[in-house]
Structure 1
Amino acid sequence: MARTFASRRVDRALSIDELRHMARRRLPEVVFEYLDGGAEDEVTLRRNRAVFDDVAFLPAALNDVATVDATTSLFGRPMAFPFAVAPTGFNGLMRRDGDLALARAAAAADIPLAQSTVSNARIETVAAVPGLRHWMQLYIFRDQAFMEALLERAERAGCEALILTVDSNVFGNREWDKRNYATPSRPRLSRRFEALRHPGWVRDVLLPGIPGFGNLDEILPPDRRDLSGAAHWSRTQIDPSLSWRHLDWLRTRWRGPLVVKGLLSPSDAVRARDAGADGIVLSNHGGRQLDGAVAPLQILAETRQALGAGTVLMIDGGIRRGSDIAKAVALGADAVLSGRAPLYGLAAGGEAGVARALALLAEQFLRVMALLGRRSVADLSPDCLRDVADLGPLRSVETPCGAQSIRDRPR
């Protein structure tokens, strides 16, 4: 349950939920709902969180945990703990230069950051952040020449890994969009007036001018270069014919690690591996695409068994505490990704807020490892958990939302 923490100082936040509360107070409703909302009745959004509560820890006693090491490695490179910042778009809506704030905080925390195709900053700008492990997320657009140019830019910028998102070639039914916008590119008048009640956001984001999409500049029509117009136009340009042939093409085109994000079937994960994918991200797009979909944690152990060792396996969705990371790793994940947790920090306090979010997750993860009696990430295994083979029925999360406001429903 979200806390009603009154302070605006991100350094005093003790949980991601408290950062979320700070973000909600600072952001206009239309922006907070973009950050926080899910598709349709938000069944998937709630399930992503509920499944973590349905997994219990089984600690081992009398193990020496005077020294606990959370470090791990992905694609042959070390990282501070098994966490990466997930690709998210429109981060300039949360804070001015939001992509760079995320990147600098990730570099300082010694973890990777995945940049979205629809980020506000350009590939080259984010990749140039000192010390950053830069990953690039890719949507497949209809324009083949643009795709080739985007890949060339990522290569020249020194991008470490490419992440192909495969669950968004058809846009989800995000009803909060329909509630908030008079047209696909214009917020309702009531929402625009409500935004004026958030002077800090207005000064930081609105008055200097809401940023555009740096990576799309070369293909955007002249009349679609504002944020709303570009966002609507880009949705129409994502290729709905996305198929396995695109993965085959990328594998021949991209020489570095290639990750497929958005799979929810163990058999699809195996097929992606056999097609040359170096990594898999089990994901339902944070509950923003197919409502009623399975949560990644539910099929994690089965997918790890199907893949065996050697393929990097990650999940996202619902990560709010270090204990969530520990459960995912114990069930077979090499790491987790999270978009909302760092973004709550970004919205609440800029780069300092992101740094606080990452520090909280790392500290909590270390503490959980110690309380479980595990001294290294490799020690986290299914025997740390109860009823791993059968997570049991979910609590009732299928209740229709009715007339209740999206902002008042539990996340």
Structure 2
Amino acid sequence: MPVITTIDDLRRIYKRRVPKMFHDYVETGSWTGQTFRENCADFEKIYFRQRVAVDIDGRSTASKMIGQDVAMPVALAPVGMTGFQCADGEIKAARAAGRFGVPYTLSSMSICSIEDVAEHSPYPFWFQLYVMMDTEFVSRLLQRAKDAGCPALVVTLDLQLMGQRHMDLKNGLSVPPKLRLPLLMDLATRWRWGLGMLGTKRRFYGNIIGHAKGVENLTSLYGWTSKQFDKKLDWEKVKQLRREWGGKMILKGILDAADAKMALQVGADAIIVSNHGGRQLDGAISSIRALGPIMDAVGDRIEVHLDSGIRSGQDVLKALAMGASGTYIGRAYTYGLGAMGEAGVTTALEIIQKELDLTMALCGRKSIADVGPDILHIPKGFSGDWQ
């Protein structure tokens, strides 16, 4: 095993061990991939201000996200089909996150069910919802999340229809996956992954099959999923979900200041500045560019989090310094999961926390509460001078 010191080290192992179909699902964006690339590249345009001769002893990365104590302001983002990246992937990720002291967000398109994760991980986890046309199913799903003790609901707003993801189409990635010859040949070479999948009973969409009306197997799941995303989702429906859930609600997929203000009006506890990791509207601006105008619009009246493009603790620190109070990693922990299972998720979190801590120290800060824009050099016009 090579010495692992960066998220990119995990990514290289992940690429070797996980089937191409599932690797490409994580590693590509929609259309040309412009937004997918710029999510990361735009972080590199922001520089730190080094400070010296400052007492940096006794540092801490501890913070809070929606009132919950966290070891660092980083949550594991909802990633669909995580159980195809590694056998029992959602359970392993939830355990690693809980043990580390950060939130895990279970996708409604997970392989392991809400109940499975709750049974096999002793740590509370957040639940992410795609708003579906079948309102009875959605209500039951929310109740199941309540019964499992989920302290927060993350509602994804930017997937009323699927962005075109060329590699997923070419690889035959669908619900269920199309078992073409190239895929079968690729699966045959990933023996470590294959042994794991053979050893688990969790190979299907546990939150949907057997719970949605008429969906009893993978064949019926395809027809149901293809028409279920709610194209009529509007702010009134978000309000209804807020009332039905009754607990902490986070709205994911905010890129515009006007939408951030609407989230404030419907009573959300937090928003996630996000472009779905570059997998929806290609040509949209990166999340880190969108953050400034959104902070200007809502200030401290609502908790502002950020995802899309974070691959290091330095990226986390830049987002926090620009006003975010929390961040999310998706690809970064998925690399660790596919590379080394539960231990790989822990390794990813350790890498990010160490980078966050060391960079904060070299900028002359001892705690997350002390971090602000004065530790950064931000290019003029970074957030855009648009017409």
TM range (shorter): over 0.9
Residue type at the aligned position of 2:289: Q
Matching residue within 162, 186, 192 for 2:184: 192
Residue type at the aligned position of 1:204: G
How do 1:351-362 residues align onto structure 2 when only pairs under 5 Å count?
Answer: 351-362=342-353
Q: Is the 8 A contact 1:83 1:335 kept in 2?
A: yes
Q: CA deviation at 1:128?
A: 4.3
1:58-100 Cα offsets, whole Å, 9 max, x none, are: 1222210011111101222211001000011111111111000
Q: CA deviation at 1:232?
A: 6.4
1:271-296 Cα offsets, whole Å, 9 max, x none, are: 11111111000111011111111111
1:88-127 Cα offsets, whole Å, 9 max, x none, are: 1111111111000000000111000111111112212323
Residue type at the aligned position of 1:241: K
Q: Give distance in 1, aligned partners of 2:220 and 2:90.
A: 20
Q: Is the 8 A contact 1:171 1:235 kept in 2?
A: no
Q: In the alignment, which residue of structure 2 is the partner of 1:399?
A: none
Cα distance 1:360–1:75, how it changes in 2: closer, same or farther (>3 A)? same
Matching residue within 108, 112, 115 for 2:106: 115
Q: In the alignment, which residue of structure 2 is the partner of 1:401?
A: none
Q: Give distance in 2, aligned partners of 1:247 and 1:144.
A: 13
Q: Is the 8 A contact 2:124 2:149 kept in 1?
A: no
Q: In the alignment, which residue of structure 2 is the partner of 1:219?
A: 212
Q: In the alignment, which residue of structure 2 is the partner of 1:405?
A: none
- Bigger shift: 328-337 or 144-153? 144-153
Cα distance 1:392–1:169, how it changes in 2: closer, same or farther (>3 A)? closer
Q: In the alignment, which residue of structure 2 is the partner of 1:53?
A: 44
Matching residue within 298, 310, 323 for 1:319: 310
Q: In the alignment, which residue of structure 2 is the partner of 1:239?
A: 230
How do 1:91-170 residues align onto structure 2 when only pairs under 5 Å count?
Answer: 91-128=82-119, 132-170=123-161
Q: Give distance in 1, aligned partners of 2:371 and 2:169.
A: 43
How do 1:207-356 residues align onto structure 2 when only pairs under 5 Å count?
Answer: 211-217=203-209, 218-219=211-212, 221=214, 225-226=217-218, 230=221, 233-356=224-347
Residue type at the aligned position of 1:271: M
Q: Give distance in 2, aligned partners of 1:186 and 1:207.
A: 22
Q: Give distance in 1, aligned partners of 2:373 and 2:9.
A: 30
Q: Give distance in 2, aligned partners of 1:20 and 1:245.
A: 41
Q: CA deviation at 1:253?
A: 1.2
**What's the TM-score once normalised by structure 1's chain length?**
0.88
Q: CA deviation at 1:365?
A: 0.5
Q: Give distance in 2, aligned partners of 1:372 and 1:20.
A: 28
Q: Give distance in 1, aligned partners of 2:173 and 2:21.
A: 12
The answer to whether the aligner puts 1:81 opposite 2:72 as a matched pair is yes
Q: Is the 8 A contact 1:342 1:357 kept in 2?
A: yes
Segments of 5+ residues of structure 1 without an aligned counterpart are 1-6, 394-411
- Bigger shift: 300-309 or 92-101? 300-309
Matching residue within 63, 67, 76 for 1:72: 63
- Bigger shift: 213-222 or 376-385? 213-222
Q: Give distance in 1, aligned partners of 2:300 and 2:152.
A: 19
Q: Give distance in 1, aligned partners of 2:354 and 2:28.
A: 27
Residue type at the aligned position of 2:357: L
How do 1:26-65 residues align onto structure 2 when only pairs under 5 Å count?
Answer: 26-65=17-56
1:124-144 Cα offsets, whole Å, 9 max, x none, are: 232345552411101111111
Residue type at the aligned position of 1:60: R
Q: CA deviation at 1:386?
A: 0.7
Cα distance 1:72–1:182, how it changes in 2: closer, same or farther (>3 A)? closer
Q: Give distance in 2, aligned partners of 1:31 and 1:55.
A: 31
Q: Give distance in 2, aligned partners of 1:93 and 1:16.
A: 20
- Bigger shift: 25-34 or 105-114? 25-34
Q: Give distance in 2, aligned partners of 1:392 and 1:75.
A: 26
Q: Is the 8 A contact 1:279 1:312 kept in 2?
A: yes
Partner SS for 1:163: strand
Q: In the alignment, which residue of structure 2 is the partner of 1:407?
A: none
- Bigger shift: 366-375 or 123-132? 123-132
Cα distance 1:47–1:131, how it changes in 2: closer, same or farther (>3 A)? same
Q: CA RMSD in A?
A: 2.1
Q: Give distance in 2, aligned partners of 1:173 and 1:279.
A: 28
Segments of 5+ residues of structure 2 without an aligned counterpart are none
Q: Give distance in 2, aligned partners of 1:187 and 1:109.
A: 37
Q: In the alignment, which residue of structure 2 is the partner of 1:201?
A: 193
Q: CA deviation at 1:369?
A: 0.7
Q: Give distance in 1, aligned partners of 2:37 and 2:173.
A: 27
**What's the TM-score once normalised by structure 2's chain length?**
0.94
* Count of aligned positions: 383
Residue type at the aligned position of 2:35: T
Work out the percentage of aligned pairs sharing the same amino acid: 35
Partner SS for 1:132: coil
Q: Give distance in 1, aligned partners of 2:137 and 2:174.
A: 28
Q: Give distance in 2, aligned partners of 1:336 and 1:385.
A: 17
Q: In the alignment, which residue of structure 2 is the partner of 1:409?
A: none
Partner SS for 1:196: helix
Q: In the alignment, which residue of structure 2 is the partner of 1:402?
A: none
